[in-house]
Amino acid sequence: MISEQFVRSLPKTDLHVHLDGSLRLGTLIELARERKVKLPSMTQSGLRKLVFKDRYRSLPEYLQGFGLTVGVMQDAEALERVAYELAEDNYQEGVRYFEVRFAPQLHSSRTMDMRTVLQAVNRGLARATRRANRRKAIRDGREPEYKCAITVCALRYFVAAMSPYYDELFRVHPFTRHDDLYGLASLELARAAVAIRDRYGVPITGFDLAGRESGFPAEDHWRAYDVAQRNFLHKTVHAGEAYGPESIFQAITDLHADRIGHGYYLFNTRMIKNPRIKDKQEYVRALSEYVADRRITIEVCLTSNLQTNPKLTNLSRHTFRQLRAQRLSTTLCTDNRLVSNTTVTKEVMLAIEHFGLSAHELKNIVIYGFKRSFFPGSYTAKRDYVRQVIDYYERVTAAAAETADAAGRPG
């Protein structure tokens, strides 16, 4: 039996975690009080009951809480604090590497541009990382360092009220088609991300597209992803979360995604909408084979998918089972630590409980998170880091086995 204590001790990754979905609940309340932001409740229990629930009726309901979290993250001090606490929470449960994603345009205004937003987040992450690595050095100089990177998020859909940035965009372009505005915003974000990475050293390694899939196709954002591709930003796309296999197809063909966020509906032929696709089974087979062959990693978020898919009543029926059966590249992620009330350790334990992961399978999945990361460094540095992680993983496993043997019980 693989214990929770053992999982916590392992080096882990989180490649899909949203900054604005992962605040500490107490911090949300404190920031709201200080910044005069109205919440449905000013108690943690009240917010758990009214907003951040165990189950949601749909993805749109799941996303409602982000209006509250983003509302308190409209200045550099709040952004730095939230980023610092997220890094601390990850490191304290044994996450050695994570990639935080967020949409800078949700926090931008005339008084705080995207550079200021990204630098504030990076300050918080860097401060927590330095502190964690100082503690690590005291314990064991052979341990892999704690590391993190930033993925910037474009939105498939937005309205003027979502932020001052979007309000200004609609004001300056009043007669532009909305789908053209969506693409314009993502293009500006891609260009800004490259410039801020190159001029100011902010570790932006990934570009993402998030938000409503239905009616808001990935192809609207091809120019932004072309900029990302030409400037060596890694690419991930939310796809197959609330729409079918066609969304995943667009992500890997129009946007050249290296990884897919969620991919829950990859195998679901009933979700295919295009009438020109006659043989749906063959379409899904060819698509999944392509994803598997190119080692396009699926960022699996078990709790989040359970919460936002009413038809998923039993986690053991999650697509993760079929992804593993067909040997696709997968990694376990939280999506949103606050909104989903989860941790990386919890996600791993759910996978062990519902899918019967063996120790060998667990190791492969955990290590693959490091291998398929958008690591902020050279290829050789990444290889060395992954090797160090593997060695450390094996030492932790051996120590756990020795402890179990000494106690006279199974490991």
Structure tokens at 208: 């993402």
What is the three-class DSSP state of 192?
Answer: helix
Helix axes 222-230 and 178-200, enclosed angle (nearest 10) = 20
Contact criterion met (CB below 8 Å) for 213 and 255: no
Instruction: From residue 318, give the alpha-carbon distance in Å to each of 56, 228, 337, 348.
Output: 17, 32, 20, 14
Distance in angstroms (rounded) separating the CA atoms of residues 391 and 409: 25
Give the residues across from 109 on adjacent strands.
112
What is the three-class DSSP state of 132?
Answer: helix
Burial of 224 from C-beta contacts in 10 A (0-12 / 13-18 / 19+):
buried
- Residues contacting 19, CB < 8 A, separation 6+: 73, 82, 83, 86, 100, 101, 102, 121
Contact criterion met (CB below 8 Å) for 6 and 359: no
Q: Please, what is the Cα angle at 186 between 114 and 374, to 5 degrees?
A: 80
What is the three-class DSSP state of 11?
Answer: coil
Distance in angstroms (rounded) separating the CA atoms of residues 131 and 105: 29
Q: Clarify whether 241 is annotated catalytic.
A: yes
Helix axes 379-407 and 359-371, enclosed angle (nearest 10) = 160
How does DSSP assign 206-230, residue by residue? EEEEES--TTS-GGGGHHHHHHHHH
Burial of 257 from C-beta contacts in 10 A (0-12 / 13-18 / 19+):
buried
Q: For 386, phi and psi rounded to 5 degrees?
A: -65, -40
Catalytic, out of 213, 241, 246, 347 = 241
Name the nearest CA neighbour of 333 among 358, 356, 365, 307: 365
Q: Catalytic residue positions?
A: 241
